[in-house]
């Protein structure tokens, strides 16, 4: 399905509106996209560029890549021949332009790129359905058959079979595909062939017996279970909604890639399932080999009318965002197969990340006849040009990071284009910033842009023995200063700086420790960090821990005043926050969020709800609700100097101001950021959609 409200520009568009690019736009990515989607165009390489078509403040590799991808040329698909743009970059840029312009390439022209890198394959996959529609399934099938004959035992064969499955084509007979599955030396190709056989008439009989599978994942592929989940056909009336949480674990916030979104979707799903107009909620997650070994269920109840569906992935655990492209065809296949087995058809599927996993579920929604909802954010658009302005094109890591960000910008465009509706995250200026990065969204709601349902947190529910549990939480925290996860009991009277979140470079826990040491705050405060997998962590988590250990090595006293606790269940985190908030003024606790940015900041809201004064990043979504010196403090977290200034402001805040910030923050959360309000507004969005 295609959301026509988000159609890209075409050659038939009329003259550009005056000032479409506007030399006042300082961000080169925004300037390029504004000109492209308004149909006016710009170029960085004209001999005498017009002032309204110049690329502002861009040079080097970023300018060349933007020119290749967005610069309007006489031909529908630009050559992208700026300096330093190699053949691969030109191909990616040209295909992205074709996708945005709706140019249907022939199967031969499109599949000429079949041996491209993952970013090229992502664009090819997006263009393929339109190619089949325009040039006919029979011709597309013939081209696939010919190319499969040329690429029988390479990864390309798997990609071609995945394209066949996506379009319902049959380029190979059951005998041919079974032979390919049996003889290939590539595991991914074997899996693609098995999925392909499942869709062929008579194909399943050619699958090997599950006893021949190499491992548990292959046994699932050969004998897919049919878990019982979802509302009964005669159950409550209303929309059946699925929401995705493909990165990290739903029940393990703070571990690996799992963060505030896990907390948000868990509480939201529970509340949404009890909301009028909603018959049930399915939260879709991933489960790798280790996850399935610990719990082999593919679906289970989480709360009344709220189920968790686990899509198997051929990886040890939930794949990282940069690896999600490898799993896109399998995720689509599993989602369609499992969601279609429910007693009632799915009505709405809501995705929230601009990545290949979300596009996999968008494919599934289309095949299931479900409406697609996408939550768009200004990430990675916001600050992309600034992040990469000083990068060294000779540094392969920096070059790859730039291309990955541009890849995600394209994926977000595709999700906007394919969604039946798009919603935003609330910001200080409404959704104006979102429209700035997605000009096509300005057409929604009579020019007001997309709606932005409020985000919210579930109410904290104290245990019957809550007071005893809070005392025990503080006792564990102050049990032994020689332990890395505890503080010295003798420091119980010192103020506490608390920070909760997954261990990740964007969260900048190491920068917080460096700034804490540099300001001398370790002489007068303790620092408590909560986050990271218990036991063996991910490579990213281990790197952050090593950085912190290195910083603490010259400061043995500071090491006793810093506790790095592994991620705790959300209830335990919120209980500890309340225990710390109850302490005396001299032993006060601040919640400090040092993140480079937060799209919203669920952990910040939870700290405010607990009655803690909060200091958070000026950049990103936190500034939407945290007002400096009104209900907290805003800090410049772009570097050590800014964070040090923020910590000094925290230290200089009077007890009266701390109490005022805490009271105002708690009042704000209670009035504006409840999960009930969020569920009600999303339910209204879902019920307004045309489904089926």
Which tens digit of pLDDT belongs to each residue from 518-566? 999 999 999 999 999 887 788 899 999 999 999 999 999 999 999 999 9
Count of residues in the chain:
692
The candidate with the shortest Cα–Cα distance to 393, out of 679, 600, 86, is 86
Residue % of the chain over a pLDDT of 90:
70
Confidence tier at 243 by pLDDT (50, 70, 90) = very high
CATH 3.40.50.2000 residue window(s) in the chain = 239-457+677-687, 466-673
Confidence tier at 25 by pLDDT (50, 70, 90) = low
The predicted-structure confidence for 254-301, as pLDDT tens digits, reads as follows: 787 778 888 899 999 999 999 999 999 999 999 999 999 999 999 999
The CA-atom distances, in angstroms, between 594 and each of 485, 505, 644, 664 are 20, 11, 10, 21
Using CA atoms, how far apart are residues 425 and 265, in angstroms rounded to an integer? 14
The predicted-structure confidence for 83-142, as pLDDT tens digits, reads as follows: 467 889 999 999 999 999 999 899 999 999 998 888 999 999 999 999 999 999 999 999
Q: Are strands 614-617 and 278-287 parallel, antiparallel or unpaired?
A: unpaired
Find tokens 């990290």 and name the residue: 248
Region 582-594 average pLDDT? 92
> What pLDDT is recorded for position 390?
67
Question: Quick check: 514 and 640 in contact, CB under 8 A?
Answer: yes
Per CATH, the number for 239-457+677-687 is 3.40.50.2000
Indicate whether 449 pLDDT > 90: no
> What pLDDT is recorded for position 24?
52
Query: Does residue 429 sit in helix, strand or coil?
Result: coil
> What pLDDT is recorded for position 405?
94
Query: Does residue 348 sit in helix, strand or coil?
Result: strand
- Scanning 305-461, the segments in alpha helix (DSSP H) are 328-340, 356-368, 384-389, 396-418, 432-437
Beta bridge partners of 303: 306
Superfamily of domain 466-673: Glycogen Phosphorylase B; (3.40.50.2000)
The predicted-structure confidence for 601-633, as pLDDT tens digits, reads as follows: 899 999 999 999 999 999 888 998 999 999 999
Q: Which two tokens stand for residue 28?
A: 């080169």
Q: Which two tokens stand for residue 487?
A: 């503080």
Beta bridge partners of 6: none
> What pLDDT is recorded for position 128?
97
Indicate whether 440 pLDDT > 90: no
Indicate whether 42 pLDDT > 60: no
Q: Which of 31-45, 312-326, 355-369, 635-649 has the lowest mean pLDDT?
A: 31-45
Q: How many CB atoms lie within 10 A of CB 34?
A: 21
The candidate with the shortest Cα–Cα distance to 529, out of 470, 492, 573, is 573
Kind plus residue range of the DSSP H or E element containing 310: strand 306-312
Indicate whether 46 pLDDT > 50: no
> What pLDDT is recorded for position 692?
63
> What pLDDT is recorded for position 154?
84
pTM of the model: 0.88
């Amino acid at each position: 399905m295609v959301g026509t409200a988000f159609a890209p520009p075409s050659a038939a568009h009329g003259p550009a509106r005056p000032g479409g690019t506007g030399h006042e736009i300082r961000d080169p990515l925004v300037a390029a996209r504004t000109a492209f989607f308004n149909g006016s165009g710009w170029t960085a390489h004209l001999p005498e560029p017009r002032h309204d078509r110049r690329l502002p403040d861009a040079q080097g590799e970023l300018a060349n890549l933007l020119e290749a991808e967005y610069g309007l040329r006489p031909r529908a698909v630009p050559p992208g021949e700026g300096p330093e743009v190699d053949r691969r970059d030109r191909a990616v840029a040209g295909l992205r332009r074709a996708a945005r312009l709706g140019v249907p390439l022939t199967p031969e022209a499109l599949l000429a790129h079949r041996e491209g890198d993952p970013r090229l394959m992502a664009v090819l996959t997006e263009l393929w359905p339109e190619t089949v529609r325009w040039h006919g399934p029979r011709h597309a099938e013939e081209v696939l058959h010919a190319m499969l004959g040329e690429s029988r035992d390479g990864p390309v064969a798997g990609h071609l079979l995945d394209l066949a499955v996506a379009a319902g084509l049959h380029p190979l007979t059951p005998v041919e595909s079974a032979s390919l599955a049996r003889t290939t030396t590539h595991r991914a190709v074997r899996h693609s062939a098995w999925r392909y056989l499942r869709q062929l008439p008579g194909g399943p009989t050619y699958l090997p017996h599950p006893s021949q599978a190499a491992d548990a994942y292959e046994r699932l592929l050969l004998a897919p279970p049919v878990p019982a989940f979802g509302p009964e056909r005669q159950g409550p009336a209303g929309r059946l909604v699925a929401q995705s949480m493909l990165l990290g674990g739903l029940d393990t916030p703070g571990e690996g890639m799992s963060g505030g979104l896990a907390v948000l979707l868990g509480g939201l799903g529970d509340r949404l399932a009890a909301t009028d107009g909603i018959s049930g909620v399915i939260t879709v997650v991933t489960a790798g080999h280790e996850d399935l070994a610990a719990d082999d269920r593919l679906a289970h109840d989480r709360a009344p009318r709220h189920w968790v569906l686990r899509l198997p992935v051929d990886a040890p655990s939930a794949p990282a965002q940069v690896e999600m492209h490898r799993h896109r065809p399998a995720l689509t296949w599993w989602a369609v197969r499992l969601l279609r087995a429910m007693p009632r058809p799915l009505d709405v599927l809501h995705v929230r990340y601009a990545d290949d996993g979300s596009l996999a579920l968008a494919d599934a929604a289309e095949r299931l006849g479900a409406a697609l909802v996408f939550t768009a954010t200004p990430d990675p658009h916001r600050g992309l040009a600034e992040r990469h302005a000083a990068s060294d094109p000779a540094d392969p890591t920096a070059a790859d990071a730039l291309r990955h960000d541009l890849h995600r910008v394209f994926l977000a465009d595709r999700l906007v284009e394919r969604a039946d509706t798009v919603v935003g995250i609330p910001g200080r200026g409404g959704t104006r910033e979102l429209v700035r990065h997605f000009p096509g969204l300005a057409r929604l709601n009579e020019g007001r842009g997309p709606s932005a349902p409020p985000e919210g947190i579930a109410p904290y529910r104290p245990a019957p023995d809550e007071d005893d549990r809070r005392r025990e939480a503080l006792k564990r925290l102050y049990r032994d200063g020689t332990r890395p996860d505890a503080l010295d009991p003798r420091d119980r009277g010192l103020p506490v700086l608390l920070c909760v979140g997954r261990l990740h470079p964007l969260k900048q826990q190491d920068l917080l420790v460096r700034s804490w040491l540099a300001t001398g705050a370790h002489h007068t405060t303790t620092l408590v960090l909560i986050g990271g997998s218990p036991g063996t962590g991910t490579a990213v988590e281990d790197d952050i821990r090593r950085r912190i250990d290195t910083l603490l090595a010259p400061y043995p006293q500071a090491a006793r005043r810093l506790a790095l606790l592994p991620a705790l269940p959300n209830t335990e985190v919120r209980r500890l926050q309340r225990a710390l908030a109850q302490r005396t003024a001299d032993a006060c606790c601040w919640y400090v969020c040092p993140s480079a940015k937060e799209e919203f900041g669920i952990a910040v809201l939870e700290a405010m709800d607990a009655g803690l004064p909060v200091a958070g990043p000026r950049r990103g979504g936190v500034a939407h609700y945290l007002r400096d010196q009104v209900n907290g403090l805003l800090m410049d977290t772009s570097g050590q100097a800014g964070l040090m200034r923020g910590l000094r402001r925290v230290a200089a805040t009077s007890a009266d101001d701390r109490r005022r910030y805490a009271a105002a923050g708690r009042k704000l959360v209670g009035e504006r950021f409840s999960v009930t309000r969020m569920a009600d507004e999303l339910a209204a969005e879902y019920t307004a959609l045309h489904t089926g």
